[in-house]
C-alpha cells in the first residue's frame, strides 16, 4: 500500500494547541478521557475541542478500562471519532464499547522494555484484535500509557497484514528512525506523539509539533 505516514498528535487540552496541530498538518488529534492522566479532558471538553477540527482531521478518544456505556456516550458527542483502548480491554470489551462495530477503534499493545522478556507476539495480538482499525505500539511501563519511553523497535516481528501505529517516546529527533525501522514490517504505518512535542504535560510546543510533522514527511 502507500508509503505516506499519517500523524496523530495526542493529549491535547487547549484550543490553541488543537489549532496549531491542524495548521502543521496533523491527520488526527487525540483526547485523553482517563482521569488519572495529566492530559485528561472531560467528554464535554473533548467535544468542544473536537468541534474545532476541519473535515478530514480525525478526532480520537482514548479510554482506559472505561465501561461501554460511557465510551458510547462520549463518542456520540464527537461525530466521526475513532476510539482508542489503552487498558486491559479484551476483544469482547472492545466490541461492546464500540456498539458492536458501530465505532472504529484502535487497540494499544504494551511492548515490554525488559530485554529478558520473551519477544512480544505482535502477530498473535493483532489476530486477537482483528476488528481493530490498527494496533498501536507503546512501551509497557507502570500504569497506562508509555510514559514517554521508547522500546526496541528492532525486536518487533514482521506483521505484514497489520496496520500499525508507532507510539512511545517519539520526538522530532527519532521519528525518522522509527518509521524506517517499522514501515517495511507492516501493511501501513502511522505515528502517534504526545510528550515528545510538549512544553509541559498537557501543554504542546507548537514549534516541536511543526518539527515533528516535518520529520515524518521527510521520512
> Which residues belong to the active site?
10, 138
Among candidates 47, 3, 8, 5, which has minimal Cα distance to 26? 8
Q: Could you give the residue ranges of the DSSP H alpha helices within 25-67? A: 43-50
Are the C-beta atoms of 141 and 147 separated by less than 8 Å? Answer: yes
Distances (CA, A) of 69 to 87, 93, 119, 151: 16, 11, 35, 33
Q: Could you give the residue ranges of the DSSP H alpha helices within 42-169? A: 43-50, 68-76, 91-97, 122-128
- C-alpha Rg value of the chain to the nearest Å: 16
Neighbours of 38 (CB within 10 A): 13
Amino acid at each position: 500500500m502507500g508509503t505516506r505516514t499519517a500523524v496523530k498528535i495526542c493529549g491535547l487540552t487547549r484550543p490553541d494547541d488543537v489549532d496549531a496541530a491542524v495548521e502543521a498538518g496533523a491527520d488526527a488529534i487525540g483526547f485523553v478521557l482517563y482521569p488519572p492522566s495529566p492530559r485528561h479532558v472531560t467528554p464535554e471538553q473533548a467535544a468542544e475541542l473536537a468541534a474545532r477540527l476541519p473535515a478530514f482531521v480525525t478526532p480520537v478518544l482514548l479510554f482506559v478500562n472505561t465501561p461501554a456505556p460511557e465510551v458510547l456516550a462520549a463518542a456520540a458527542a464527537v461525530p466521526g471519532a475513532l476510539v482508542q483502548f489503552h487498558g486491559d480491554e479484551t476483544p469482547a470489551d472492545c466490541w461492546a464499547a464500540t456498539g458492536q462495530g458501530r465505532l472504529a477503534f484502535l487497540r494499544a499493545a504494551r511492548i515490554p522494555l525488559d530485554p529478558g522478556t520473551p519477544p512480544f507476539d505482535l502477530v498473535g495480538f493483532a489476530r486477537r484484535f482483528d476488528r481493530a482499525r490498527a494496533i498501536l505500539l507503546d512501551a509497557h511501563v507502570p500504569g497506562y500509557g508509555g510514559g514517554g519511553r521508547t522500546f526496541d523497535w528492532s525486536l518487533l516481528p514482521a506483521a505484514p497484514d497489520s496496520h500499525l501505529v508507532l507510539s512511545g517516546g517519539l520526538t522530532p529527533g527519532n521519528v525518522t528512525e522509527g518509521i524506517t525501522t517499522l514501515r517495511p514490517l507492516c501493511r501501513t504505518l502511522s505515528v502517534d506523539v504526545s510528550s515528545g512535542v510538549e512544553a509541559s504535560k498537557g501543554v504542546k510546543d507548537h514549534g516541536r509539533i511543526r518539527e515533528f510533522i516535518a520529520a515524518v514527511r521527510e521520512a
